[in-house]
């Protein structure tokens, strides 16, 4: 993929969180920065969305505690369906054990709630740059 094409590609993000107000606010903020966003209000719906098209999303932003399927289980099962995108865990009060479990899954970032929106946008922008660089390297 040509770098100009990669730079024009808007990151496709799936946000999974059972706090509807928070996920709507998060999606509005991400859209403001030019990202394409879909919301899932629990882990089961997020998995269904990813399973239907594992290559459709570049980034999954997930909470840890959600009805139906935890963030950890969502990441495990999403990877099992063929999802190769980046993952940000956006959760509050994760234990050391939970952080280690996510580390074992090689998630790209853990952002603690509550977070300044600039912190989350900074992580998303960094991951987008990594995706662009990867796309440019594989196209060369």
Q: What does the alpha-carbon distance between residue 87 and residue 129 come to, in Å, rounded to a whole number?
A: 14
Alpha helices in the chain (DSSP H): 3-8, 20-32, 43-52, 71-80, 96-104, 117-139
pLDDT tens digits for range 70-125? 999 999 999 999 999 999 999 988 899 999 999 999 899 999 988 778 889 999 99
Looking at the predicted structure, is the pLDDT value of residue 8 above 60? no
Q: What does the alpha-carbon distance between residue 33 and residue 121 come to, in Å, rounded to a whole number?
A: 8
Q: What does the alpha-carbon distance between residue 110 and residue 92 come to, in Å, rounded to a whole number?
A: 10
Superfamily holding 3-117: Response regulator (3.40.50.2300)
pLDDT value of residue 117: 82
pLDDT tens digits for range 17-38? 999 999 999 999 999 999 999 9
Residue 9's pLDDT band (boundaries 50, 70, 90)?
A: low
């Amino acid at each position: 993929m040509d770098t100009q094409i990669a730079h024009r590609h808007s990151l496709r993000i799936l946000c999974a969180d059972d706090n509807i107000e928070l996920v709507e606010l998060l999606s509005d903020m991400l859209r403001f920065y030019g990202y394409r966003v879909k919301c899932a209000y629990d882990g089961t719906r997020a998995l269904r969305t990813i399973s239907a098209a594992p290559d459709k999303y570049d980034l999954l932003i997930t909470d840890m505690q959600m009805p139906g399927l935890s963030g950890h289980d969502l990441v495990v099962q999403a990877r099992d369906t063929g999802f190769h995108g980046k993952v940000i865990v956006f959760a509050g009060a994760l234990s050391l054990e939970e952080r280690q479990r996510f580390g074992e899954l090689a998630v790209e970032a853990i952002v603690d709630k509550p977070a300044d929106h600039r912190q989350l946008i900074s992580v998303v922008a960094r991951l987008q740059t990594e995706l662009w660089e990867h796309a440019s390297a594989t196209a060369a």
